Structure 1
Amino acid sequence: MLFSELNQADLTEAQCTALLFRYPDDGAAGDVIMLAGSRMARTLRLPTAVALYQAGRAPRLLISGGRRWQDQPAGESVALASAAEEMGVPASAILTENKSQYTLANVRYSKALLADTIGLDQLHRIILVTNAYHMNRLYHMMRSYFPAHIAYSFHGTSDPYTRADNWFASPLGRRHVHHELSGLQQAIRKGEVSDYPVPDDVLAQD
Structure 2
Amino acid sequence: MVVRLPEEHRADVEILWEFNRMGHAVRPVDVGVGLGGHDIGVASYAAELYHAGVFPMIVFTGAHGPSTRELFPRGEAVHFREHAIGLGVPGEAILVETRATNTGENIEFTRDLLAERGLLESIGSVMLIARPYHQRRSFAICRKRWPAVDVRCGSLPLALDDYVASIGDVERVMNMLIGDTQRVWAYPARGWAIDQDVPDEVRAAYGRLVAAGFDRRLLAEG
- TM-score normalised to structure 1 length: 0.76
Q: Summarize deviations over 1:104-161 as a string: whole Å, max 9, x none.
A: 221121121122225433212111211111100011101111133x212322234855
2:17 and 2:88 map into 1 onto residues whose CA distance is 35
Say whether the 8 Å CA contact 2:39–2:131 is kept in structure 1.
no
Give the whole-Å Cα distance in 1 for the aligned partners of 2:146 and 2:132.
Answer: 21
Distance 2:57 2:142 in 1: 18
Which residue of 58, 78, 84 maps to 1:61? 58
The residue number in structure 2 matching 1:5 is: none
Please tell me whether the aligned partners of residues 62 and 94 of structure 1 are also in contact (alpha carbons under 8 angstroms): yes
Contact 1:35 1:62 in 2 (8 A): yes
Identity %: 21
Equivalent residues, number: 183
Q: Is the 8 A contact 1:65 1:99 kept in 2?
A: yes
Closer/same/farther in 2, CA of residues 29 and 138 from structure 1, 3 Å limit = same
Match of 2:136 in 1: 136
In the aligned structure 2, how far is the partner of 1:153 from the partner of 1:193? 15
Q: Secondary structure at the match of 2:179?
A: helix
What residue number does 2:29 align with?
A: 30
Unaligned runs of 5+ in 1: 1-11, 165-169
Q: Matches of 1:177 and 1:62 in 2, distance apart? A: 24
CA RMSD of aligned residues (A): 2.8
How has the CA–CA distance of structure 1 residues 172 and 69 changed in structure 2, closer, same or farther, with 3 Å as cutoff? Answer: closer
For residues 61-100 of structure 1, what are the structure 2 equivalents within 5 Å?
61-67=58-64, 69-70=69-70, 72-100=72-100
Equivalent position of 1:49 in the other structure:
46
Post-superposition offset of 1:51: 0.8
Q: Which residue of 2 aligns with 1:16?
A: 16
SS at match of 1:39: coil
Query: How does the TM-score come out when normalised to structure 2?
Result: 0.71
* One-letter amino acid matched to 1:152: V
Q: Highest relative contact order (Cα 8 Å, sep 6+), 1 or 2?
A: 1
* Helix, strand or coil at the partner of 1:45: helix
* Aligned match of 1:151: 150
For residues 18 and 76 of structure 1, the distance between their equivalents in structure 2, rounded to whole angstroms, comes to 26
Distance change (3 Å), C-alpha of 1:18 and 1:64: same
CA contact (8 A) 2:104 2:141 kept: yes
Where 2:99 maps in the other structure, the secondary structure is coil
Q: Judging changes above 3 Å, is the alpha-carbon distance between structure 1 residues 160 and 112 closer, same or farther for their aligned structure 2 residues?
A: same
